[in-house]
Chains A and B, each alone.
Chain A
Amino acid sequence: ETGVTQSPTHLIKTRGQQVTLRCSSQSGHNTVSWYQQALGQGPQFIFQYYREEENGRGNFPPRFSGLQFPNYSSELNVNALELDDSALYLCASSLKAGNTIYFGEGSWLTVV
Chain B
Amino acid sequence: AQSVAQPEDQVNVAEGNPLTVKCTYSVSGNPYLFWYVQYPNRGLQFLLKYITGDNLVKGSYGFEAEFNKSQTSFHLKKPSALVSDSALYFCAVSPFSGGYNKLIFGAGTRLAVHP
Chain A residues in the interface with B (C-beta under 8 A): 2, 4, 6, 31, 33, 35, 41-45, 48, 50, 55-56, 58, 90, 92, 94, 97-106, 108
Q: CB-CB < 8 A to A31: which residues of B?
A: 100-101
Q: CB-CB < 8 A to A101: which residues of B?
A: 34, 46, 94, 101, 103
Q: Is the CB of B94 within 8 A of A103?
A: no
> How far apart are A1's CB and chain B's nearest CB, in angstroms?
10
Q: Name, among B44, B46, B51, B92, the residue most crowded by chain A CB atoms within 10 Å (CB to CB).
A: B44
Q: CB-CB < 8 A to A90: which residues of B?
A: 43-44
Minimal Cβ-Cβ distance residue in B for A9? B41
Knowing A55-B99, A103-B36 touch, does A98 contact B43 (C-beta < 8 A)?
no
9 contacts between A and B (CB under 8 A): A33-B101, A41-B108, A42-B107, A43-B105, A45-B104, A97-B96, A97-B101, A101-B94, A101-B101
Q: Is the CB of A43 within 8 A of B90?
A: yes
Inter-chain CA distance A92–B32, complex, in Å, is 16
Inter-chain CA distance A6–B42, complex, in Å, is 12
Within B67-115, the residues touching A (CB, 8 Å) are 90, 92, 94, 96, 98-108
Q: CB-CB < 8 A to B92: which residues of A?
A: 42
Q: Is the CB of A42 within 8 A of B90?
A: yes
Q: CB-CB < 8 A to B26: which residues of A?
A: none
Q: Is the CB of B107 within 8 A of A41?
A: yes
Q: CB-CB < 8 A to B102: which residues of A?
A: 33, 45, 48, 56, 58
Inter-chain CA distance A50–B34, complex, in Å, is 21
Q: Is the CB of B44 within 8 A of A43?
A: yes
> How far apart are B79's CB and chain A's nearest CB, in angstroms?
24
Inter-chain CA distance A20–B70, complex, in Å, is 44
Q: CB-CB < 8 A to A55: which residues of B?
A: 98-100
Inter-chain CA distance A41–B32, complex, in Å, is 21
Q: Is the CB of A98 within 8 A of B32?
A: yes
Q: CB-CB < 8 A to A50: which residues of B?
A: 100
